[in-house]
Structure 1
Amino acid sequence: MATAPVVVHPPLGTGGRRVTVRGEILGLAHSDADVVEFLRQAGLSDAEGLLDDMAWVKWRGGSAHHYEAA
């Protein structure tokens, strides 16, 4: 199985999660809305519908949709 192109990395100790697409850092998300905006800026128009699609988004460490400090 191919690796999901979008990775939401584990929550940082200060809160927020780094978001990458194919290894390129898009930014630090503090909410799902931030992730959606990063993905829209990267050209994914249906970004909101992709957050729970494991073929597109890999949530690493912590729970999906959780952005508070670990």
Structure 2
Amino acid sequence: MGAPIVVHAPSPTGGRRVTARGEILGLAYDDRDLIEFLRRSGLPDAGRVLDDPQWVEWRGGRAHAYEAA
């Protein structure tokens, strides 16, 4: 089974869709947005897991890069 959180490829207009177990959490434009989405979904220490591949899979671009594709 893959990571429960997926940060999808940057969109053509910027930002990255974020899903947790298939549920869309929102469109993140930076790590602060991503951390806030994860915190709201019940992960209080979200900032600690962003680089842990067991928690987060970064697809279609560099991790922590949110600019337009």
CA RMSD of aligned residues (A): 0.4
Name the SS for the 2:35 alignment partner. helix
How many correspondences in the alignment? Answer: 69
Question: What are the equivalent positions in structure 2 for 1:1-70 lying under 5 Å apart?
Answer: 2-70=1-69
1:65 shift after superposition: 0.2
CA deviations 1:1-59 (Å, max 9, x no partner) are x2100000000000000000000000000000000000000000110001000000000
Return the TM-score normalized by structure 2: 0.98
Where in structure 1 are there 5+ consecutive unaligned residues? none
Q: Which runs of 4+ in 1 moved over 4 A?
A: none
Where in structure 2 are there 5+ consecutive unaligned residues? none
Identity %: 67
Return the TM-score normalized by structure 1: 0.97
